[in-house]
Structure 1
């Protein structure tokens, strides 16, 4: 094993340099500092103002409607709506939204004029280390199954071991899903049709539920409950536990009948079902159960904290790009957990000393730790163990990616929101203040860990689909990169069949003829729409207007395209990427794009050029 890092187990042939080891020791939850993404911020604010309009619209519609929709008319599954209520319904609401947009313009101007750059939490060497680790296709970086450690393996060794396990016919079988076969109903899909791919090959898990699915714990609980009921009703042994507690597949029970009968009890339990086997640890003094150590003290049971030997205690590093209140809530919640687990104050103080050590090793200040330790010390354990139902008032969220530099803007948005609360006609709709929900920036796990192996490929640039009847392929730019104004983009292996992409259209004959668009559907279908608008000479569409210009001699052979990026998690991310390309490549001022869509009202972007 290479490297002796506390949290990093390097099983690969690659020797980590000090910067690579150091950045990995931050833990996969660590977020590097990022700058404010202005396009994303404006899209976030637009989403918030759309929520304001929809809140007023639907509250009014439901109030004025005499009948509510019946359960029969409600569809159990439906696509997320893109509906936005029209403007002009309420003057105060329109003024408020206009005020918010003006605040955004002023804030973006201030961000651009500030000479002081954000304070970054990684050195240049560590940033370079992340880049080199990401680009190394010969290694695989994964979180350990338990304990919070990071494991690095050679890709060949990782694939070999995974393939060895997948050859076990008792659990997996290789299948062909290339024909897009129907996987059945949702329940059957979860419990039986556990299909997955590894290294480009599809497999079917024939035993057990898929790991990670939300239904797996519920199904396991139902199965174990049935197993226990059947076993205890049929068990003919000489005794049963006087107390029996289970959490999914971890069981704690008290056995008063001696070691010999305990062995017979466990053997009978293990023989009751062919695929369920238990390991048993027993003691006359203490045992571990979940994160507790349970000890016998006279006629009482006392508990304290148990941690597995493999637990690396990789709490979020204090230097991570996270809000301070979140880091402090981690401290508070851990002390609360220790307080609930420890049955005596002495055990809580003793175990907390170790917790101080864990947090300080992750960079947390002693004074902050002491503040929350003292606060928890004063709490009553019995009250902490009581289940409390929390009320959650309906509040409209402002969702943005976390960055402390936008906090002044959020404060201004909240101030503008107050005018909605002062208007009697809509104050009941906006009685609660908005809540600022912060989206997490990319952490090391997102940057370095891949859920699927990238297949080695010599393909650079877009790839024609090669279908004989495809009318799109011969318009494709097959170069590995494309130049748009001053910007150069390296192209990935997307094809005519690719969907969920941002694309570039341009005239091969003219300068300043670039158009950037996006599509959810297969690009071939979107491209055919562009061709159709040109042939039908539809006016008002930038591509059709350019190719039907009477002063230029154009033909359809001059129309070229390149697929710039794809694989977006949702429509919103794709539309944001489209706008970012339009801004970076300046295809409004020196191209065929007419405007920036929903961001056209922001003066900041109208003044931006490449």
Structure 2
């Protein structure tokens, strides 16, 4: 099911048709010449900066900084001014694509307004699988408030704390002024602040009532009574909250330590490189999952864990960032995680918010610290060889853990008890199999001694890929079939299964109206890439500093000024200086997505 309606509101056929396009679907916007002119002026400013600073990259060592608004003086180079005038003239002329066909009907546009203005419902994407869930607003608020009323994790505030927290950050940057550059201090203190917002994503994959209803009806749209077993994943969205920039800086500082945690895997593709081709016949596949990791990390043990990794790998962190700087900064982020929900203000008193930038790094290092205790205790309870074996073969991505198990079930249960004894707040659930077991998006399959891998889909996965008619840049839509096919070729090791998955993918994409020739070309291109190349870590472009992106909001009704930027480049290259500073390939087209 793509749409699950557990509200009392009935949806019209038009509303169902609209929602079935997915929440990422973008209707064709009206032409917006004002935004285009503004974006063109910003690109021209970048050109002037390149001419002003030449190729001299001044670097004061700042890890973060506010975006500069510096504008060099005009008329420093006649050919640059001629080129800029050409671009501005192109942007200011009337839109040349007024006859672009709308990608939704008038009735669907009315449906957008009706759904947006209906205060009785809440529409959220499911926590996993991509389904859309419609809920009664009052019921949704009641369910979320049940979580927020848990005094072990949250405390209600009488008023907003944002201004007070900003003052704490200003004091922090003053105390640690010697650790920070002027640009970093400016970045942490000067920005447009906005309070964090709390919301819950419905965990429909864990609701037996919803799953039973979906299976019984087997349709794109399913209307069900309110389930009594639906839970929500708590999200604190604070992209402009007082601590979000400090959290980002701390994440940059601490992230290099993650790769030094023995169990660390970067993602599911990285995990593939640790999977053996064969195992002993008696080997079992075991996975563990930490229950609600983010909200259960105690602040004191979290600080212990960060201190442990800093002291163990001091050379991985720039010397100007002292241990006290990092610990005090983290305390600021963790102890000031306040947000609002339904016009009420709350403070999270335990754990870390899922929405803050440093959270995954913090959780990884915390778990790595507990694992050091695990390795030691495993040696004590079992033996040194087994302790070393666990250290080498135990792999984890945040709260998901996996191991190939060669010992008895009694030993496995003892090991599970060891895990649950590491800290009272951190408890592990376990799954085991002798044949196949999912881990992240990978299904690990054991056939006799042979290990193969397949793509794993949860039962709630709707395969709700972006519909081809959505108003997204064409390169975005062209890349979707290739990226999905490449993922299949990377993960699925057996050729027969791989072909089956690629055929499935083709059927999913055809339902989303992707052209068959685009799908076939993308699939063939992905199949030609050797497996070692598919599974190697992607490399960064070392020449990215030379790139001058022309960033515009994608709008098919607007003039294509980027095309003008390319065709008029000979005007710019009449300048000997600029010919050497700005090459054809340096100017790239970058599109931001219009609001959907």
Alignment correspondent of 2:551: 399
User: Which SS does the other structure have where 2:54 is aligned?
Assistant: helix
**2: CA distance, partners of 1:18 / 1:102:** 46
Q: Which moved more, 1:256-265 or 1:121-130?
A: 256-265
Q: Would you tell me which structure has more helix in proportion to its own residues?
A: 2
Tell me what 2:500 maps to. 350
Q: Quick one: which of 316, 321, 333 aligns to 2:483?
A: 333
Does 1:237 find its partner at 2:237?
Answer: no
Look up the match of 1:188: 331
Contact 2:79 2:574 in 1 (8 A): no
Residue 103 of structure 1 contacts residue 413 of structure 1 at CA under 8 Å; is this kept in 2?
A: no
Paired position in structure 1 for 2:371? 228
Match status 1:14 vs 2:166:
no
Q: Residue 448 of structure 2 corresponds to which residue in structure 1? A: 298
Q: What is the distance in 2 between the residues matched to 1:294 and 1:135?
A: 46
What is the match of residue 104 of structure 2? 122
Match of 1:217 in 2: 360
TM-score, length-normalised on structure 2? 0.68
How much has 1:197 moved relative to structure 2?
A: 0.7
Deviations 1:467-500 (A, max 9, x none): xxxxxxxxxxxxxxxxxxxxxxxxxxxxxxxxxx
CA deviations on 1:398-446 (whole Å, 9 max, x unpaired) are 1111123446432122222332234212222212441111110112xxx
Aligned partners of 2:49 and 2:71 also within 8 Å: yes
Once the two structures are TM-superposed, the CA of residue 167 in structure 1 deviates from its matched residue by 0.8
1:70/1:160 CA distance change after superposition, 3 Å:
closer
Give the distance between the partners of 2:531 and 2:525, measured in 1 at CA. Answer: 13
Match of 1:323 in 2: 473
Pick from 64, 88, 109: which aligns with 2:75?
A: 88
Alpha-carbon offset, residue 94 of structure 1: 1.2
User: What residue ranges of structure 2 are gaps of 5+ in the alignment?
Assistant: 170-245, 247-329
State the secondary structure of the residue aligned to 2:591.
strand
Residue among 525, 540, 543 paired with 1:375: 525
Give the structure with higher Rg (CA).
1
- Residues 186-585 of structure 1: matches in 2 within 5 Å? 186=246, 187-235=330-378, 236-238=380-382, 243-391=393-541, 392-393=543-544, 394-406=546-558, 408-431=560-583, 432-443=585-596
Q: Distance in 1 between matches of 2:60 and 2:70?
A: 21
Q: Provide, for residues 552-591 of structure 1, a one-character-per-residue CA deviation record: whole Å limited to 9, x for no partner.
A: xxxxxxxxxxxxxxxxxxxxxxxxxxxxxxxxxxxxxxxx
- Find the aligned partners of 1:218 and 1:79 in 2 and give their Cα distance: 23
Superposed CA deviations along residues 193-219 of structure 1, whole A, max 9, x for unmatched, are 211111111111111111122211101
> In the alignment, does 2:115 pair up with 1:133?
yes
Unaligned runs of 5+ in 1: 1-5, 444-610
1: CA distance, partners of 2:22 / 2:339 = 28
Q: Is the 1:35–1:118 contact (alpha carbons within 8 Å) kept by the matching residues of 2?
A: no
Distance in 1 between residues matched to 2:533 and 2:64, nearest whole Å? 41
After alignment, is 296-305 or 433-442 more displaced? 296-305
1:158 corresponds to: 140
CA distance in 1, matches of 2:130, 2:340: 25
- Asked if the contact 1:396/1:435 (under 8 Å) is kept, the reply is yes
Task: Look up the SS of the partner of 1:246 in the other structure.
Answer: strand
Alignment of 1:174 onto 2:156: yes
- Tell me the secondary structure at the aligned position of residue 9 of structure 2: coil
Corresponding position of 1:102:
89
Kept in 1, the 8 Å contact 2:482–2:523? The answer is yes
Query: 1:70, CA displacement in angstroms?
Result: 5.7
Q: Does the CA-based 8 Å contact 1:190-1:210 persist in structure 2?
A: no
Using the alignment, how far apart are the partners of 1:382 and 1:178 within structure 2? 53
Over 3 Å counting, the alpha-carbon distance change for 1:16 and 1:155 in structure 2 is same
Hey, what does 1:51 align to over in structure 2?
46
- 1:148 is aligned, of 121, 130, 143, to 130
Aligned-CA RMSD value = 2.1
Distance 1:130 1:404 in 2: 21
C-alpha separation between the residues in 2 aligned to 1:38 and 1:407? 8
Q: The residue matched to 2:433 in structure 1 has which SS?
A: coil
CA distance in 1, matches of 2:65, 2:511: 48
Q: Deviations over 1:52-75 (max 9, x none)?
A: 112211228x59xxxx6766xx7x
Residues 182 and 292 of structure 1: is their aligned pair in 2 closer, same or farther, counting only changes over 3 Å?
closer
Task: Note the C-alpha offset of 1:375.
Answer: 2.0
**Cα distance per residue 1:444-472 (max 9 Å; x no partner):** xxxxxxxxxxxxxxxxxxxxxxxxxxxxx
Name the structure 1 match of 2:35. 40
TM-score (norm: length of structure 1): 0.66
SS in 2 for 1:437: strand
- Structure with the bigger RCO (C-alpha within 8 Å, sep 6+) is 2
CA distance in 2, matches of 1:367, 1:99: 38
Aligned residues: 425
Task: Note if contact 2:86-2:568 (Cα within 8 Å) is conserved in structure 1.
Answer: yes
State the SS of the aligned residue for 2:100: coil
Per-residue CA deviations over 1:34-63 (Å, capped at 9, x if unaligned) read 122011111111111111112211228x59
Aligned partner of residue 42 in structure 2, secondary structure: helix
Q: Is the 8 A contact 1:293 1:305 kept in 2?
A: yes
Q: Secondary structure of 2:481's match?
A: helix
Alpha-carbon distance, 1:85 to partner: 1.1
CA distance 1:252–1:70, change in 2 (3 Å): closer
Distance in 1, matches of 2:474 and 2:420, equals 49
Residues 414 and 433 of structure 1 are in contact (CA less than 8 Å); yes or no, is this contact kept in structure 2?
Answer: no
User: What is the alpha-carbon distance in structure 2 between the residues aligned to residue 101 and residue 363 of structure 1?
Assistant: 37
The C-alpha deviation readout for 1:239-286, integer Å capped at 9, x for no partner, is 556622111111110111122221121122112211111111111111
Please list the CA deviations of residues 109-167 of structure 1 after superposition, one character each: whole Å capped at 9, or x if unmatched: x63xx7x6221110111100000111111111111111111111111111111111111
Q: What residue number does 2:233 align with? A: none
Q: 1:343 to 1:120 in 2, by over 3 A?
A: same
Conserved? CA contact 2:32–2:558, under 8 Å: no
